[in-house]
């Protein structure tokens, strides 16, 4: 009785405040209708799901989350029981990743044709609850779900994030947390960059030196790739095959496909340092790369090299059930091949035009092997150089041009242009940020990007199968920094991957600000540049500086000073661009309801 009185008191308070709020979900569902009322989840609530293993696992995720995040112990039933409950229902006619979710005062129903649709419906259900549901502490209030109806399905079949674990290594627990964040945003692909010049990160039992030696570099450059200073400290790490299997299962349980990347023919110095016979053997000594960038030491297209790679891929295929394998193919210098007698003889023997044709031959040899094992290869833009392998997919990173070209050739394409979707670039003022790659790509840029170029016909657009954000980690030493660089920009990427509707920046920022409450509960180390003012300037026709101020965060007032003092509520409010005609320091900060948000941004002119 006492508990029901507490709930009634809570509902009364809720009717004054929370009932009027919008439902803030990322990624935005395709169709959402808010209705009056609430469903209360308590110990009397039951969960019902189809009997097959995948649906039961989805239901168990909900049961576990209610226990940890709300302190509520619910029961699993085989069929609808008396009282109110949450039903996962399998129905015909929905797309393989689609779902329908209906919340009424008497219960919740999530309909889907497949279990992955149920899982995505569950992610939406979590976002209909208080952010505390993501925590591991008993909530201090009843678990309430706003009544609504949702129909939802993804825009693209490839909704991915990438992570480079070669420049810096991240252990299995960090990878699993990254997978959780992908799943939370309805992503379904994790592109795992496992081999590089600077380290080989996966155990291959047939070639033990790859991890005994190839996983460790003797030292690491300090600062940018141009630096001549090194830290003098050995650095390494790798995943055992048992750890790989555990991570693959963890991902599969969350309907995420892991795409492993084994680089070739370039970015292969770590492997060549272990087995020099795989190279053109023009060097006296090979060692794992210690600086960032591109190395000229690459695989030589000899039969023993192809045998080595087939053996490596054989073990990779046994570990990863994905039908797609990423083979890199980017940034392969041709200088060694130009000097190599074997390579030059092979070019002549095969009637190839040049070394670009030799790279195409290399990739086609690997594709033939992969296809024979039921796998499809995907690689970076450079796969198009010298001729695209017959069945290859293209990951377009240098811009859109290669993606457009491949789509017109009826090859599947994943769009990840570096100017739009590379997450290792600055997202805030470089003067106040830690070292990043030397370019700025902010949240708005990522949100605004349309991965379906107008130059493609409707038929050709069908070959753009998805999008992906990439996290290269030369300047990202740990998972906390990975989170900082990836979020909240990854929220924008994964919304583009999921949501079909036209973009609305203001609506997105309002949803994102509420979404940050969820990230806070999860202790995600996301970047808070969202709250920081951006100050820009241009010269007018009298060579005075015209100052413009913007901020991503909605519903704020920008206050500024030009005398070097800190902005406060007494400072002028920015409304329109203004002019300065002498050397001054402009400082600005966002305020809401009299309280400062973000940090003070300062810029001298």
Active-site annotation, residues: 331
CB 45 within 8 A of CB 166: no
Which of 374, 403, 388 is CA-nearest to residue 466? 403
- Which pair of tokens denotes residue 527? 């970047």
Q: Within 10 A of 447 (CB to CB), how many other CB atoms are there?
A: 22
Which of 380, 246, 259, 378 is CA-nearest to residue 316? 259
Distance, in Å, from the CA atom of 483 to the CA atom of 497, rounded to the nearest integer, reads 19
Number of H helices, E strands in the chain: 18, 27
- 90, with CB counted inside 10 A (0-12, 13-18, 19+), is middle
Q: Within 10 A of 126 (CB to CB), how many other CB atoms are there?
A: 20
CB 238 within 8 A of CB 205: no
Pairing relationship of beta strands 534-539 and 545-550 according to DSSP bridges: antiparallel
Distance, in Å, from the CA atom of 228 to the CA atom of 62, rounded to the nearest integer, reads 52
What crossing angle do the helices spanning 303-319 and 355-372 adopt, rounded to 10°? 40
Which of 47, 13, 29 is CA-nearest to residue 144? 13
Q: What is the DSSP string of 353-404?
A: SSHHHHHHHHHHHHHHHHHHTT-EEEEEGGGGTT---TT-EEEE-S-SHHHH
Distance, in Å, from the CA atom of 181 to the CA atom of 251, rounded to the nearest integer, reads 11
Q: Within 10 A of 477 (CB to CB), how many other CB atoms are there?
A: 16
Distance, in Å, from the CA atom of 189 to the CA atom of 370, rounded to the nearest integer, reads 20
CB 529 within 8 A of CB 425: no
Q: What is the DSSP string of 438-480?
A: EEE--HHHHHH--SS-TTS-HHHHTTEEEEEEEE--TT--SHH
Longest dimension (CA), the chain: 88
Pairing relationship of beta strands 425-426 and 437-440 according to DSSP bridges: parallel
Distance, in Å, from the CA atom of 477 to the CA atom of 301, rounded to the nearest integer, reads 34
Helix, strand, or coil here: 556? coil
CB 47 within 8 A of CB 76: yes
């Amino acid at each position: 009785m006492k508990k029901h009185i507490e709930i009634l008191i809570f509902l009364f308070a809720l009717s004054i405040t929370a009932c009027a709020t919008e439902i803030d979900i990322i990624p935005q569902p395709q169709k959402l209708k808010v209705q009056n009322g609430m469903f209360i989840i308590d110990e009397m609530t039951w969960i019902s799901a189809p009997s097959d293993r995948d649906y039961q696992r989805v239901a168990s995720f909900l049961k576990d989350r209610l226990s940890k995040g709300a302190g509520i112990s619910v029961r699993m039933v085989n069929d609808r029981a008396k009282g109110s409950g949450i039903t996962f229902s399998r129905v015909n006619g929905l797309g393989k990743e689609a779902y329908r979710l209906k919340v009424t005062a008497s219960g919740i129903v999530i309909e889907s044709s497949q279990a992955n649709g149920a899982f995505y419906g569950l992610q939406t259900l979590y976002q209909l609850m208080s952010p505390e549901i993501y925590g591991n502490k008993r909530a201090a209030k009843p678990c309430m779900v706003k009544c609504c109806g949702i129909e939802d399905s993804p825009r693209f079949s490839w909704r991915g994030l990438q992570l480079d674990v070669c420049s810096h290594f991240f252990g299995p627990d960090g990878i699993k947390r990254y997978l959780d964040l992908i799943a939370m945003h309805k992503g379904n692909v994790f592109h795992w960059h496992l081999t590089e010049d600077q380290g080989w990160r996966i155990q291959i039992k047939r070639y033990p030196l790859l991890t005994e030696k190839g996983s460790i570099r003797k030292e690491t450059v300090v600062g940018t790739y141009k630096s001549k200073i090194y830290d003098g400290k050995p650095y390494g790490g790798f995943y055992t095959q048992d750890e790989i299997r555990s991570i693959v299962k963890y991902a599969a349980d969350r309907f995420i496909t892991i795409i492993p990347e084994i680089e070739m023919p370039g970015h292969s110095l770590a492997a060549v340092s272990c087995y020099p016979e795989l190279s053109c053997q023009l060097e006296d000594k090979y060692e794992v790369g210690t600086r960032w960038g591109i190395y000229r030491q690459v695989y030589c297209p000899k039969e023993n090299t192809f045998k080595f790679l087939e053996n490596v891929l054989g073990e990779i295929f046994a570990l990863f059930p994905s039908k797609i394998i990423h083979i890199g193919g980017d940034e392969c210098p041709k200088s060694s091949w130009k000097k190599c007698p074997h390579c030059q003889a092979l070019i002549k023997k095969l009637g190839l035009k040049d070394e670009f044709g030799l790279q195409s031959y290399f990739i086609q040899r690997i594709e033939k092997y992969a296809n024979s094992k039921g796998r499809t290869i995907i690689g970076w833009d450079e796969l198009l150089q010298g001729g695209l392998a017959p069945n290859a997919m293209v990951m377009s990173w240098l811009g859109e041009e290669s993606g457009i070209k491949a789509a017109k050739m009826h090859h599947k394409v994943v769009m990840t242009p570096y100017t739009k979707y590379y997450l290792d670039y600055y997202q805030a003022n470089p003067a106040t940020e830690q070292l990043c790659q030397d370019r700025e790509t902010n949240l708005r840029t990522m949100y605004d990007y349309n991965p379906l170029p107008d130059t493609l016909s409707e038929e050709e657009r069908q070959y753009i199968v998805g999008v992906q954000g990439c996290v290269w980690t030369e300047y990202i030493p740990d998972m906390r920094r990975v989170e900082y660089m990836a979020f909240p920009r990854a929220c924008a990427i994964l919304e583009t991957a999921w949501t079909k509707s036209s973009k609305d920046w203001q609506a997105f920022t309002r949803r994102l600000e509420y979404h940050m409450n969820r990230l806070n509960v999860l202790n995600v180390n996301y970047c808070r540049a969202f709250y920081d003012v951006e100050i820009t300037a241009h010269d007018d026709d009298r060579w005075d500086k015209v100052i413009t101020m913007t901020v991503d965060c909605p519903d704020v007032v920008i206050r500024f000073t030009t005398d070097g003092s800190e902005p406060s509520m007494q400072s002028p409010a920015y409304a329109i661009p203004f002019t300065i005609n002498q050397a001054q320091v402009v400082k600005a900060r966002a305020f809401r309801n009299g309280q400062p948000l973000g940090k003070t941004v300062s810029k001298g002119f």
